[in-house]
Amino acid sequence: MKKPIYVTKPYLPPLEEFIPYLQEIWESGVLTNGGPFHKQLEEALCKYLGVEHIALFANGTIALITALQALRITGEVITTPYSFIATTHSLHWNGIKPVFSDVDPDTLNLDPEKIEAAITPQTTAILPVHCYGHPCDVDAIQQIADNYNLRVIYDAAHAFGVQDEGGSLLRHGDLSVLSFHATKVFNTFEGGAIICPDAKTKLLIDRLKNFGIEDETTVVAAGINGKMSEFNAALGLLQLNYIKQVLEHRKMVDIAYRERLKDVKGIRCLQAVKGEFSNYAYFPILVEGDYSISRDELYYLLKDENIHPRRYFYPLISEFPTYRGLSSAHPDNLPNAVDAAHKVLCLPIYPELEAEQIDTITQIIAST
């Protein structure tokens, strides 16, 4: 049987390099609750990402839920249907009504030109996603938010290390939320973070992720248990040592796919982010109508060869039972998102993907 090729695999540093971290955790007896590795990782990530304040979390979903709590978001929030389900679930868990707005057909990010039409007197915030690590039109979104006195929380789960001309993409909006899940460019197996604009906001978020505890006898808010363990923080510190070579290899995979697929009729690669600003988190292609077979037929053809791409994001969030009854979820309201969901296929991309495997994948696509 052929060795399986998955859409992504977590980078795992040499096990022997992790042993000293484990020994230190065992010797200290500090397993969680903001231990020394937790503090070191926060400092290291601030330096690497070019931000001043970061609050680590057990995962990105709890971080999203907490970010909404920290800003006291209520009512309605405009968001994208083209994302992982956690984006909208975070609203649902806070008792907030999601209002879906369509995406730009070229970037697959929330289209600023469609946002204003979705604003009502109950709208309090916008929750965009930097889809596949491609930056949203942050200036246009912020202008709308300023005009209507709305908050902006970015789901930046895909955008670790991504920059624009002014620096870290994570500096935009009121808060940005990261995921460090095993499928991400940088991972702690499970984990996440909120980028905070100032020390006061970080203090509030740190309390909210620890049950709202201020000290041994004082609880100041109805918080949650969102703390990252020392084990995950230690893994993150080790992962940071390899992030440069991880990104370099992902870039090589991205370039190889684009070169081999550029002349394949009916296969469209999304426009590349400027090289120095990208993290190559995913490699989505759109299977257009003039390709020889349908997207799903190509999907199963690759699976038959033990190659496992993913249809990120299909179905749309707006099509799941929890949300499809919303008026904003009607397909007529979301033509670009619907179109992309039926065409998209994310190809394997990860540091250990070999040139021979890339050749196999692209040959199947090009020769079908």
Q: Which of 182, 159, 186, 183 is nearest to 243 (CA)?
A: 186
**Residues 281 and 331 occupy one common structural domain:** yes
Tell me which of 240, 267, 284 is where a domain ends: 240
Residues 6+ apart with CB under 8 A from 194: 54, 55, 57, 63, 66, 67, 70, 175, 176, 177, 178, 205
pLDDT in tens, 52-74: 999 999 999 999 999 999 999 99
Q: What is the pLDDT, as a whole number, of residue 255?
A: 96
Q: What is the pLDDT, as a whole number, of residue 238?
A: 97
Hey, which residues does 219 pair with through a beta bridge? 213
Confidence of residue 272 (pLDDT cuts 50, 70, 90): confident
The reply to whether 248 falls in a domain is yes
Residues 6+ apart with CB under 8 A from 305: 2, 360, 364
**Residues 228 and 249 occupy one common structural domain:** no
Q: What's the mean per-residue pLDDT of the chain?
A: 97
Over residues 32-41, mean pLDDT: 97
Looking at the predicted structure, is the pLDDT value of residue 51 above 90?
A: yes
**Residues 144 and 277 occupy one common structural domain:** no
Tell me which of 240, 262, 287 is where a domain ends: 240
The reply to whether 217 falls in a domain is yes
pLDDT in tens, 80-139: 999 999 999 999 999 999 999 999 999 999 999 999 999 999 999 999 999 999 999 999
Confidence of residue 142 (pLDDT cuts 50, 70, 90): very high
**Spatial separation of the C-alpha atoms in residues 344 and 347, rounded to whole Å:** 10
Over residues 298-310, mean pLDDT: 97
The reply to whether 21 falls in a domain is yes
**Residues 249 and 363 occupy one common structural domain:** yes
* 25: its two tokens: 């955790």
In this prediction, what percent of the chain has a pLDDT beyond 70? 99
The reply to whether 2 falls in a domain is no
Find out whether 266 and 287 touch, Cβ atoms under 8 Å.
Answer: yes
* 101: its two tokens: 């707005």
Could you tell me the residue range of the domain that residue 37 belongs to?
A: 15-102+109-240
Looking at the predicted structure, is the pLDDT value of residue 261 above 90?
A: yes
**Residues 224 and 356 occupy one common structural domain:** no
**Residues 187 and 253 occupy one common structural domain:** no
Looking at the predicted structure, is the pLDDT value of residue 202 above 70?
A: yes
Looking at the predicted structure, is the pLDDT value of residue 1 above 70?
A: no
Over residues 330-342, mean pLDDT: 98
Question: What residue type is 221 in one-letter code?
Answer: A
Count CA atoms closer than 13 A to 52's CA, side-chain side. 10
**Residues 199 and 87 occupy one common structural domain:** yes
Over residues 180-188, mean pLDDT: 97
Tell me which of 240, 260, 276 is where a domain ends: 240
Our count of domains for the chain comes to 2
pLDDT in tens, 208-256: 999 999 999 999 999 999 999 999 999 999 999 999 999 999 999 999 9
**Residues 177 and 291 occupy one common structural domain:** no
The reply to whether 7 falls in a domain is no
Looking at the predicted structure, is the pLDDT value of residue 332 above 80?
A: yes
**Residues 176 and 195 occupy one common structural domain:** yes
**Residues 322 and 206 occupy one common structural domain:** no
In this structure, what CATH number is given to the domain that contains residue 262? 3.90.1150.10
Q: What is the pTM for the complete model shown?
A: 0.97
**Residues 332 and 253 occupy one common structural domain:** yes
The reply to whether 10 falls in a domain is no
In this structure, what CATH number is given to the domain that contains residue 141? 3.40.640.10
Handedness of CA 181, 203, 148, 141 (dihedral sign): negative
The reply to whether 154 falls in a domain is yes
CA-to-CA dists, residue 146 to 18, 64, 142, 253, angstroms: 46, 22, 6, 39
The helix/strand/coil state of 141 is helix
CA-to-CA dists, residue 76 to 91, 96, 126, 330, angstroms: 9, 6, 9, 17
Q: What is the pLDDT, as a whole number, of residue 356?
A: 96
- Where helices occur in 209-348 by DSSP H, the ranges are 230-240, 243-261, 295-304, 335-341
The reply to whether 9 falls in a domain is no
Confidence of residue 276 (pLDDT cuts 50, 70, 90): confident
**Residues 316 and 220 occupy one common structural domain:** no
